[in-house]
Structure 1
Amino acid sequence: MERWFSRITMFWMLFLGEVQSQDWTKCSTGCTCDGNKMSVTCNGLKNVPNDIQKDAKKLNLEYNSLSKLSPTAFHGLSSLTYLSLFNNKLQTLPPGVFDHLVALGTLNLNSNQLKSLPPKIFDNLSKLKELYLDNNKLQSLPHGVFDKLTELKTLEIRNNQLKRVPDKAFDKLSKLETIFLHNNDWDCTSCDILYLSQWIRVNSEKVKQYTDGKYFADPDGVTCQGTMESVNKITKENTFQAGCPTTTQQMATSPASTTTTETMTVREKQTKPRMKIFQEELFSKASIFFCQVIFTQHVSLVVIHILAEIPLLHIVCVVRKP
C-alpha cells in the first residue's frame, strides 16, 4: 500500500513538473509566444488574430502585410503595454481601434502608408509614453490629436508630408523630452507655420535627431520645404505672405495680451462703420454743393435727372420750386 502511494505521489510530482516546464496552451495561429505568453510575436499575417492571449503585455506585429485593421482588433487586450505595427501597409486607422488599450506605454506605427489620422484616435491612451509615426505619408494632423497624451515623452513624426501642425498641437505635452520633426514639407510661405516656428524656438532642446546611435538636439535641422532655411527662423516679418496675424503663442502669453487683442478686434469692427459714415457724409455734402452749382447755372431739370442716373456719381439733387 505504501509502495503504491509513493508511486502515485511520484507520478503527480513528475506530471506537475512537466506542466510547469511547458506551455500547454496553444499560441495564436501565425504567432509565437514566450514561456508565460506575456509576449506575442506574429509573422506572415494579413489580419490581426482574434485569439491573442487576453492578458498579453507585448504584441509585436512588425513586418506583416496588414493593410487595414478591424475597429475591434485590440479591444480585448486591455493589458497591453507595448504594441508595434512597424513596417506594414496600413493606409488608414479606424476610429476607436486603440480605445481599450488603457495601459499602453508604447505605440509604434512607423513605416506604414498612413495619409491621415482620425480625430481623437489617441484620446484613451493616457499612459502612452512613446508614439512613433515616422516614415508615413501624413499630410495633416487633426486638431487636438495629441492633447490627451499628457505622459508622452517621445514623439516621432519625421519623414512625412506635413506642411503645418494645428494651432497649439504640442501645448499639452508637458512631459515631452524628444520630438522628431525633420524631413517634412513645412510650408514657410504660409502664416500657419508661425506656431511651429515659435514652438521650436521655445523648445529647441527637445527637437532632436538620431545618428550613430546617439540623440542630439538639432532645432535648426527642421527646414522649410524647398529651401535650407530653418523653420525656427521664420517670423511674422519674414514670411512670404503679407498680413499674417499675431501668432497664437504670442496672443496667449497672458490674459492681458488676449484682452488687448480682443479689444483691438472690437475697435477694428467699430472703425469700419464710422469710416463709412464719414465717407457718406462727405459725399452727401459734395453732392449738395454740386446740385447748388447746377441750380445756379440754371441747368435744365432733364440734365439733372440724367446726371442723377450715372452710377459713378450717385448724384442726388432735391429740386424745389422757387
Structure 2
Amino acid sequence: MERWFSRITMFWMLFLGEVQSQDWTKCSTGCTCDGNKMSVTCNGLKNVPNDIQKDAKELRLEYNSLSKLSPTAFHSLTSLTLLSLDGNELQTLPAGVFDHLVNLDKLYLRQNQLKSLPSKIFDSLTKLTLLRLENNKLQSLPHGVFDKLTELKTLYLRSNQLRRVPEGIFDSLSSLSTVRLDNNDWDCTSCDILYLSQWIRGNGEKIKTSNAGYTDPDGVTCQGTMESVNKITKENTFQAGCPTTTQQMATSPASTTTTETMTVREKQTKPRMKIFQEELFSKASIFFCQVIFTQHVSLVVIHILAEIPLLHIVCVVRKP
C-alpha cells in the first residue's frame, strides 16, 4: 500500500512540475509573458534565458546586448513561429542554432553586426515566409544559403556590404514576392554581377525600394556610380571579356578563367582579321587585274587564272 502511495505521489509531483513549467504567470527574469498570445518579450539581457516556456509561439529578444548565441539556445522551443533578434550585437550565428525551429514563420535578424552566414543556417526553416537581414555588415552570401526556403515571400538584404551574390542564389525562392537589395556595394566591374543583373531584369516587380511597396529596379545601383545594376550586361565595355556564364568563372581555377577570357577575346578579334583579309584580297585582285589589262592579256588567260584556288581572284571586266 505504501508502495502504491509513493508512486501516486511521484506521479502528481511530476504532473504538477510539468504544469508549472508551462505556467504563463511565471516568466523568465528580465522577460514579460503574454499567455493569450503565447508571447515572451525580454529586455536587458546578455544571454538567452534557458527557462522560456516550451510552448511559446513568439519570442522577442530585440534590442538586448546579445553578442553571441549558444548553438542550442532555441532547441527546446519547437513551437516558435516568430523569433526576433533585431538590434543586438551578433557578429556571427553558430551552425545549427535554428535547426529545431521547424515551425518558424518569421525571423528577424536586422541591425546586428553580422559579417557572414553559415552555409546551411536556414536549411531547417522550410516554413519561413519572412527573413530580415538588413542593416548588418554582410560582405558575401554562401552558395545555396536560401535553397530550402521555398515558402519565403519577403527577403530584406538592404544596407549591407554585399558586392555580389552567388549565381542561382534566388532561383529556389519560388514564393518570393518582395526583396530589398538597395544600399549595398554592388561591384559592377566584376563578371559576378551578371547573374544579379539578369535576375533583376526578369523579376523587376519583386524589387522594392520602400516599405510602401514602390517597385523600382533602378534602386539597386553600382558602387561609386548611380548606374542601375539591371543595365549591366556582358556587352557592356567592361563586361566584354566575361565567360559565357558567371558560374564557369566561379568554379574554374584562375588560370582557366584567364584562358577562357583570352579565348573569348580571340573570338572577338577574328571577324576583324577576316575583314582585313577580304580587303587585302580585294585590293590585290584589282591590282592584278589592272596589270593584266595593261599588258593586254586575253580574257581566256584571265578566266584560267581565276580558277586557280590559291589566288582566289575574280575579275569582272570588259574588253577595252
Alpha-carbon RMSD? 1.9
Establish whether residue 131 from structure 1 lines up as the match of residue 149 from structure 2.
no
Provide the C-alpha distance between the structure 2 equivalents of 1:62 and 1:48, rounded to a whole number of angstroms. 11
The CA deviation at 1:216 is 1.1
In the alignment, which residue of structure 1 is the partner of 2:218? Answer: 220
In the alignment, which residue of structure 1 is the partner of 2:107? Answer: 107
Provide the C-alpha distance between the structure 2 equivalents of 1:24 and 1:106, rounded to a whole number of angstroms. 23
In the alignment, which residue of structure 2 is the partner of 1:35? Answer: 35
User: Are the aligned partners of 1:188 and 1:239 in contact in 2 as well (CA < 8 Å)?
Assistant: no
Provide the C-alpha distance between the structure 2 equivalents of 1:37 and 1:207, rounded to a whole number of angstroms. 33
User: Are the aligned partners of 1:209 and 1:216 in contact in 2 as well (CA < 8 Å)?
Assistant: yes
Establish whether residue 205 from structure 1 lines up as the match of residue 205 from structure 2.
yes
Provide the C-alpha distance between the structure 2 equivalents of 1:239 and 1:71, rounded to a whole number of angstroms. 47
Equivalent residue in structure 2 for 1:245, among 225, 236, 243: 243
Compared with structure 1, are the counterparts of its residues 30 and 239 closer, same or farther at alpha carbon in structure 2 (3 Å cutoff)? Answer: farther
User: Are the aligned partners of 1:110 and 1:135 in contact in 2 as well (CA < 8 Å)?
Assistant: yes
1:299-314 aligned at under 5 Å gives the runs none
Corresponding letter in the other structure for 1:153: K
1:1-322 aligned at under 5 Å gives the runs 25-36=25-36, 38-211=38-211, 214-238=212-236, 240-247=238-245
Aligned partner of residue 188 in structure 1, secondary structure: coil
Identical amino acids, percent of aligned pairs:
79
In the alignment, which residue of structure 2 is the partner of 1:11? Answer: none
Deviations 1:274-301 (A, max 9, x none): xxxxxxxxxxxxxxxxxxxxxxxxxxxx
Aligned partner of residue 238 in structure 2, secondary structure: coil
- Structure 2 length-normalised TM: 0.69
Corresponding letter in the other structure for 2:201: R
Provide the C-alpha distance between the structure 2 equivalents of 1:220 and 1:26, rounded to a whole number of angstroms. 51
Corresponding letter in the other structure for 1:230: S
The CA deviation at 1:190 is 0.3
Provide the C-alpha distance between the structure 1 equivalents of 2:94 and 2:115, rounded to a whole number of angstroms. 13
The CA deviation at 1:37 is 6.6
In the alignment, which residue of structure 2 is the partner of 1:286? Answer: none
Compared with structure 1, are the counterparts of its residues 55 and 196 closer, same or farther at alpha carbon in structure 2 (3 Å cutoff)? Answer: same
Unaligned runs of 5+ in 2: 1-22, 248-259, 264-320
Aligned partner of residue 194 in structure 2, secondary structure: helix
Aligned partner of residue 123 in structure 2, secondary structure: coil
Aligned partner of residue 215 in structure 1, secondary structure: coil
The CA deviation at 1:36 is 4.0
Provide the C-alpha distance between the structure 1 equivalents of 2:186 and 2:220, rounded to a whole number of angstroms. 8
Deviations 1:40-86 (A, max 9, x none): 00000000000000000000001100000000000000000000000
Aligned partner of residue 158 in structure 2, secondary structure: coil
Unaligned runs of 5+ in 1: 1-22, 250-264, 269-322
Provide the C-alpha distance between the structure 2 equivalents of 1:37 and 1:195, rounded to a whole number of angstroms. 43
Provide the C-alpha distance between the structure 1 equivalents of 2:127 and 2:236, rounded to a whole number of angstroms. 40
Corresponding letter in the other structure for 1:80: L
The CA deviation at 1:209 is 1.6
Number of corresponding residues:
229
- Structure 1 length-normalised TM: 0.68
